[in-house]
Amino acid sequence: MKREYRAYKLGLKRAVQDLYYRILCTASKQTSIDILNGKGKKALDIGCAFGYVAELLCKLGYDVAGLDISMYAAQRAHEALDSTELMIADARRVPFRRNTFSLITCFEVVEHIPDPESLAEEIGASLKEGGVCVLTTPVEGRAQGFYDLVRCEKTHINLLKLKEAHALMSQYVGESLILPYSLLPVPPEIFNRYFLLQDSPALISTGMTIISVKKRKLDAPTG
C-alpha cells in the first residue's frame, strides 16, 4: 500500500538532502567524530523512504544499507540506488548483523512507532562501539500539535518530550545530546529548501535532533 510522502511527492530531493546534511554537520561538530567522512565505514538509514538520505550517505563515502517498512518506498529507493543494500523491514527488528554500523540515521521515524523502546534497543545493538546515531523526531508540545492539526497529520502516534527522548536514547544507546529546533513555516517548494532554527526555545520547538554515541565496553580486568 502506498503511503503519502509529502517531501518526495513535491520533488524536494535537494531540500531533504540539504537539511539532513546540515544536521549531520552539527552532529559531527558536537561529537568531535568525523561522521562526514564515511570512507571504510558502514551506515544504516532507518526509514529510508525513497533513498534520499541513503544517497547522501553514499556521497559521503559510506557503504550504505537502508530499510523501510513500506514496499512502495523501498522499491522506489532501489530504482534510484541499485548498488545500495535496501531491505523491507520493521525498524524494531533490524535485519542486519549486530555491532556493524559506524553511523545510523533515523529521520522522522520514532513518532510513527508505538513502542520506541524497541527501536532504540535495535539501534544500540546495531551500532559498533563508538558508533553514532543521529535521529530526528517531532517534539510533543503546542507548536507541533498545531502544525499537525493544520496538516491533518494522523500518523504521529508517539510524540516524545525532550527529557523522555534523552532518557530513552541514553538507556539503550549511550551518551546522548538533545538539540531542539523549529522548522520555520516557509513552504519548502518555493526555495527548494527547509529553514531550520536550531536551539529554539522549547515553547516554539517543533522537533529535535538526538545525537547518541554507543558506549564503549570496559576492558575486562586482568590478573
DSSP helix/strand/coil, 159: coil
Mean pLDDT of the chain: 86
- Whether the predicted pLDDT of 89 surpasses 50: yes
**Cα(182)–Cα(144) distance, integer angstroms:** 9
pTM of the predicted structure, to 2 decimals: 0.89
Assign 34 a pLDDT band (cuts: 50, 70, 90): very high
All structural domains of the chain, each given as residue ranges with its CATH number in brackets, are 6-213 (3.40.50.150)
Q: What is the pLDDT of residues 114-149, one digit of tens each?
A: 899 999 999 999 999 999 999 999 987 666 666 656
pLDDT band at 3 (very low <50, low <70, confident <90, very high): very low
55-76 mean pLDDT: 90
Strands 42-46 and 101-107: parallel
Cα torsion at 93, 95, 96, 99 (round to 10°)?
A: 20
Give CA separation, 154 vs 9, 81, 158, 167, in Å: 18, 30, 11, 26
When pLDDT is cut at 50, 70 and 90, the band that residue 189 belongs to is confident
Quick one: average pLDDT of 83-97? Answer: 85
pLDDT band, residue 166 (cuts 50/70/90) = very high
Structure confidence at residue 218 as a pLDDT band (50, 70, 90)? very low
Q: Please, what is the Cα angle at 57 between 55 and 63, to 5 degrees?
A: 100
Percent of the chain with pLDDT over 70: 85
**What is the average per-residue pLDDT within 143-158?**
67
